[in-house]
């Protein structure tokens, strides 16, 4: 097996939104294993295409079992992989509570849910607030991506087979995963306070990229202001229109406008529409996607 090349190592604070935008639905109905592994790698700031993972795991048309996934992750000492089964009589809560320290140190889990734990691979990124947090490449059992969280009872209802693989980064990647731990809540779409540190215009631009992406089901971006108000922008059809943000320094204003695709205009150029959201940069407390 040839070592998988690193396409891009995300590291800066401004990369957090760009990295979050890379979580996506699986390419084919049988590639959930590759998608789950890819999502686990993204939690460490490591960007790989799903096709690369598919090729190196040597994924058959009927999906992949845990053996090839473990072999791939262990290759060249990249990760330590441990199989863990919930003991009989132990509650799901106690099981994940014990795994919480591994997750908090940078590990991620791979779980096989559905039909008694045999149907669909997912990456578990965190155990927090009594919930299991998952970037799901086949969310709600539909052909779409979604950030999901489950209570223990809800996760039991998903039929996870009482089994997970614990994936801990080895020395080679440990620093990457430690560096990205402060952003993991954001990457898993947990409720946020202030946006990540960094250039505000860049961060909002990255957030709009997520809203404009056809890979996601988000329809709204909400800008939460310090006075308690909220300014929202809706994009229900990214094929027709995208949104861009521009900072007008003279007035400290952040202006969000719709941008019509060039193919929709006779002159073949992007056309700006009237502002749909205007607020002072200094008033912005946080933002969220819905």
Considering the domain architecture, whether residues 236 and 265 belong to the same structural domain is answered as: yes
CA 280, CA 258: separation in Å to the nearest integer? 19
Last residue of a domain, one of 187, 221, 242: 187
Considering the domain architecture, whether residues 181 and 256 belong to the same structural domain is answered as: no
How far CA 214 is from CA of 40, 145, 241, 279, in Å, comes to 22, 10, 11, 27
Considering the domain architecture, whether residues 154 and 65 belong to the same structural domain is answered as: yes
Residue 223 has pLDDT above 80, yes or no: no
Domain that holds residue 132: 8-187
Considering the domain architecture, whether residues 55 and 176 belong to the same structural domain is answered as: yes
Considering the domain architecture, whether residues 231 and 162 belong to the same structural domain is answered as: no
Residue 118 has pLDDT above 90, yes or no: no
Query: Which of 26-30, 129-133, 194-198, 213-217 is predicted least confidently?
Result: 194-198
pLDDT bin (cut points 50, 70, 90) of residue 271 is: low
**Residue 192 placed within a domain:** no
CATH, residue 174: 3.90.70.10
Considering the domain architecture, whether residues 166 and 205 belong to the same structural domain is answered as: no
The most confident of the ranges 95-109, 249-263, 268-282 is 95-109
Considering the domain architecture, whether residues 101 and 16 belong to the same structural domain is answered as: yes
Residue 12 has pLDDT above 60, yes or no: no
Considering the domain architecture, whether residues 181 and 115 belong to the same structural domain is answered as: yes
CA 125, CA 109: separation in Å to the nearest integer? 7
Considering the domain architecture, whether residues 163 and 205 belong to the same structural domain is answered as: no
DSSP string, 242-282: EEEEEEETTTTEEEEEEEE-GGGSTTSS-EE---SEEEEGG
- Interval 170-183: pLDDT, tens: 988 888 899 889 88
Residue 31 has pLDDT above 60, yes or no: yes
**Residue 3 placed within a domain:** no
According to the 3-state scheme, what is the secondary structure of 142-168? CCCCEEEEECHHHHHHCCCCCEEEEEE
Give the model's pLDDT for residue 216: 56
CA 76, CA 172: separation in Å to the nearest integer? 10
| Structural domains in the chain (count) | 2
**Residue 123 placed within a domain:** yes
Considering the domain architecture, whether residues 112 and 177 belong to the same structural domain is answered as: yes
CA 19, CA 24: separation in Å to the nearest integer? 11
Considering the domain architecture, whether residues 175 and 212 belong to the same structural domain is answered as: no
Residue located via tokens 């040839």 = 2
Considering the domain architecture, whether residues 162 and 207 belong to the same structural domain is answered as: no
Last residue of a domain, one of 153, 187, 221: 187
């Amino acid at each position: 097996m040839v070592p998988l090349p690193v396409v891009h190592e995300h590291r800066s604070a401004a990369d957090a939104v760009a990295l979050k935008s890379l979580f996506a639905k699986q390419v084919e109905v049988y590639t959930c294993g590759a998608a789950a592994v890819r999502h686990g790698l993204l939690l460490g700031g490591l960007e790989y295409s799903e096709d690369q993972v598919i090729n190196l795991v040597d994924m058959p048309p009927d999906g992949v079992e845990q053996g090839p996934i473990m072999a791939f992750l262990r290759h060249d000492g990249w990760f330590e992989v441990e199989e863990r089964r919930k003991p009989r009589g132990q509650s799901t809560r106690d099981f994940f509570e014990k795994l919480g320290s591994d997750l908090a140190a940078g590990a991620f889990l791979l779980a096989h849910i559905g039909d008694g734990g045999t149907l669909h691979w997912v990456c578990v990124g965190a155990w927090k607030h009594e919930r299991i947090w998952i970037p799901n490449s086949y969310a709600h059992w539909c052909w779409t991506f979604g950030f999901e969280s489950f209570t223990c009872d809800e996760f039991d209802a998903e039929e996870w087979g009482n089994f997970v693989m614990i994936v801990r980064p080895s020395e080679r990647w440990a620093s990457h995963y430690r560096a990205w731990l402060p952003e993991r809540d954001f990457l898993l779409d947990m409720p946020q306070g202030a946006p990540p540190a960094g250039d505000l215009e860049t961060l909002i631009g990255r957030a709009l990229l997520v809203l404009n992406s056809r890979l996601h089901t988000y329809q709204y971006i909400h800008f939460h202001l310090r006075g308690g108000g909220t300014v929202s922008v809706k994009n229900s059809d990214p094929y027709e229109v995208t949104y861009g943000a521009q900072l007008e320094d003279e007035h400290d204003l952040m202006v969000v406008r719709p941008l019509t695709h060039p193919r929709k205009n006779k002159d073949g150029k992007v056309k700006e529409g009237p502002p749909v959201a205007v607020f002072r940069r200094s008033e912005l407390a946080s933002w969220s996607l819905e």
